[in-house]
Amino acid sequence: MITNLKGKHVITWQEWSKEEIETLLDLAFELKRRKMLREKHRLLEDRTFYMLFFQESTRTRNAFETGMTQLGGHAIYLTPKTTQIGHGETAKDTVEVLSRFGDGIGVRHCSFKVGNAYIRELAKWSKIPVINMQCDLYHPTQSLADLMTIREKFGPNLRGLKFVISWTYAPKYIRPLSMPQDLILLMPRFGMDVTLAHPPEFYLLPEIVEQAKKNAEEAGVKFEIVHDMDEACKDAHIIYAKSWGPIAYTGSDTEGADLIEKYSNWVMDGRRMNLARPEAIYMHCMPADRGIEVTEEVIDGPHSVIYDEAENRLHTIKAILAATVW
């Protein structure tokens, strides 16, 4: 177990060893047990954590804020409009000051080709740990909760499980690439065979896909890309079906919306769920477009673990905070 994680940034799990991630998982399970037993665990008493959101959030904001409260600390919600960031203050000036006030900072910034660069600029100057609460490339706090959930359902040895991340139809807005990209990077490292399914125009960033292939090769597992949702779902143990935009293919929201409509049959329904193994689980990071990208019979059915998955955001985020915040 690696325990010297104080002050370590969480921008992508690619910058963390598998053993370091295992430490966080062990801690998350322990903190979940202690919450269940009403055991106090005020590990961050008198600590302050800043939450800077460029985009709105439900699970991420509330998991961080609740987590800091349960750990004995305090979380402060910030947006560009409620700070001088909205008036042009630089990342350096912002984080230099906040580093002197508090003990950690999280940032959600999903703007394509901007978000991750901004978070890395903060980390460059920060004296306190910077946690990526989702950017244009990665969503590490969600993927860690997903991994915890899979271990709860299948046990610690995940080798041989077929993990499917599939694109789905959801017309409301162009969603970022960060969720599928984080999943294809992390899951092979823990022994799962990964299948990425999407229509041809909805490919992920080539450099991320190459990293995922390398992770799979190093772990001795399979990684494949298919353009048929039915084929992907066959014999799956985990089906993670959600939407993302054709961002790597086109920078046009109009063209992107037209492409989404072209594939309106990519819906997670009972027929596709039945192509998976009997013990398979359905996952989604939420919010999910009910009746559009997923049918009610699936999202509310016996295979769905979406609320367990959402709950585990709290426990894994608490583990990250307890391990990294000074």
Q: What is the DSSP letter of 294?
A: B
CB 19 within 8 A of CB 12: no
Say what the pLDDT of residue 251 is. 86
Q: pTM for the whole thing?
A: 0.97
**Burial degree of 251 (CB within 10 A; 0-12, 13-18, 19+):** exposed
Q: At what angle do helices 306-324 and 18-36 cross, to 10 degrees?
A: 110
Say what the pLDDT of residue 165 is. 98
Say what the pLDDT of residue 172 is. 76
Say what the pLDDT of residue 184 is. 98
Q: What is the residue-wise DSSP string for 107-142?
A: EEE--TTTHHHHHHHHHHH-SS-EEEEEESS--HHH
**CA pair distance 318, 63, nearest whole angstrom:** 8
The closest alpha carbon to 237, from 285, 187, 177, belongs to 187
| pLDDT tens digit sequence for 2-36 | 889 999 999 999 999 999 999 999 999 999 999 99
Beta bridge pairs of residue 168: none
| pLDDT tens digit sequence for 156-184 | 999 999 999 999 999 878 899 999 999 99
Say what the pLDDT of residue 153 is. 98
Task: Give me the residues of the chain with pLDDT under 50, please.
Answer: none
Return contacts of 187-190, CB within 8 angstroms, 24+ apart.
187/147, 187/163, 188/212, 188/215, 188/216, 188/219, 188/221, 188/223, 189/13, 189/18, 189/21, 189/215, 189/218, 189/219, 190/18, 190/147, 190/158, 190/219
The pair of three-digit structure tokens given for residue 261, joined into one six-digit string:
């409509």
Strand 238-242 and strand 162-167: the pairing is parallel
**CA pair distance 169, 273, nearest whole angstrom:** 16
Strand 162-167 and strand 130-135: the pairing is unpaired
Say what the pLDDT of residue 26 is. 98
Say what the pLDDT of residue 150 is. 98
How is the beta sheet containing 74-78 ordered, strand by strand?
74-78, 48-53, 104-109, 130-135
Q: At what angle do helices 140-154 and 59-70 cross, to 10 degrees?
A: 80
